[in-house]
Amino acid sequence: MSKKNPKFAPNLLRLLMFEAIQSKNNSFVEIIPLEKPEKLTIENIIKSLDEHFSTNYNTHGGSKLPVLAFFAIYQSLINEIGRYKNCELGQMGSHTASDRTSKSAGDIEIFKDENLFEAIEIKLDKAIDVTMVRIAIEKIARYNPDRYYILSYIGIKESDNLEISTLINELQSEHGCQIIINGLLPTIKYYLRLIASLNEFISNYSNLIENDKEIQKIHKEKWNELMIKYLA
């Protein structure tokens, strides 16, 4: 059309830009602020996160929710815990790349003196298995972190437990890097006990949800619902 009628090209471009802006506006959801942050409890936060992670949304993007939760926790940890002195959080990338094609060591990266210090790989709907651990070992060889966390909402594949333990022990003996595997919610609960402000965590998580471009409107609306249900 533009070759035969070049005068229509500007209007077509305006239409495409208008539709892109409308699509962006339609996905925006303002996250409600906490009314009584002093009433926050770890138990209620865990309940809200559990439901946020486990709800069947029938759309893509939900697997990034626990990544945002851990990123929000680390925003507090690196400022409060001695281990993370002089550390900084790496920029969070896309959650759609596969483990083998990703150019990062994990979903979340922590750097110290510009070197990778820790990496965290987070799984929502996959149990931790041998393949996952082998991929982690490949990344450890490439990026050389001090610790590597693999966390899953489902937990560890029982039939792979012994082989996973063997691989982890061999890696620590030969390389020195410690692979730590655990469940998502128990790890979050532990970290929430360490940070000084639960309100800061909720604020960080809410801001990440509101501004993230990979999760959907339904995920944001669900968080508002859970804020009222558990955290108001």
Q: Using CB atoms within 10 Å of the CB of residue 3, give its burial: 0 to 12 exposed, 13 to 18 middle, 19+ buried.
A: exposed
CA distance linking residue 228 with residue 232, whole number of Å: 5
Angle at 199 between CA 62 and CA 30, to 5 degrees: 50
197: tokens are 């402000």
Tell me the range of 16-25, 27-36, 99-108, 172-181 where mean pLDDT is highest. 172-181
DSSP state of 85: T
Q: Does the pLDDT value for residue 20 go beyond 50?
A: no
- Are the CB atoms for 30 and 210 separated by under 8 Å? yes
Predicted confidence band at 103 (pLDDT cuts at 50, 70, 90)? Answer: confident
What are 69-83's pLDDT values in tens digits? 999 999 999 999 999
Predicted confidence band at 190 (pLDDT cuts at 50, 70, 90)? Answer: very high
Pick from 40, 38, 58, 42: nearest CA to 50: 42
The helix/strand/coil state of 111 is strand
φ, ψ of residue 2 to 5 degrees: the values are -70, -30
- Are the CB atoms for 195 and 201 separated by under 8 Å? yes
Predicted confidence band at 101 (pLDDT cuts at 50, 70, 90)? Answer: low
pTM of the entire structure? 0.86
Mean pLDDT of 50-69: 97
Q: Does the pLDDT value for residue 23 go beyond 50?
A: no
CA distance linking residue 88 with residue 98, whole number of Å: 24
Mean pLDDT of 123-133: 97
The structural domains of the chain, with segments of one domain joined by +, span: 60-231
141: tokens are 């060889």
Pick from 181, 176, 141: nearest CA to 161: 181
Least confident span in 98-102, 117-121, 219-223: 98-102
Predicted confidence band at 14 (pLDDT cuts at 50, 70, 90)? Answer: low
Mean pLDDT of 124-137: 97
- Strands across the sheet with 87-89, in order? 87-89, 108-112, 115-123, 147-152, 178-183
CA distance linking residue 29 with residue 210, whole number of Å: 6
Q: Does the pLDDT value for residue 35 go beyond 50?
A: yes
2: Cβ–Cβ under 8 A, 6 or more apart, which residues? Answer: 8, 9, 12
Q: What is the pLDDT, as a whole number, of residue 28?
A: 83
Q: What is the pLDDT, as a whole number, of residue 178?
A: 97
- Are the CB atoms for 118 and 145 separated by under 8 Å? yes
Question: What percentage of the chain carries pLDDT values higher than 90?
Answer: 79
What are 133-187's pLDDT values in tens digits? 999 999 999 999 999 999 999 999 999 999 999 999 999 999 999 999 999 999 9
Q: Which residue has the higher pLDDT, 8 or 52?
A: 52
Q: What is the pLDDT, as a whole number, of residue 93?
A: 73
CA distance linking residue 202 with residue 159, whole number of Å: 36
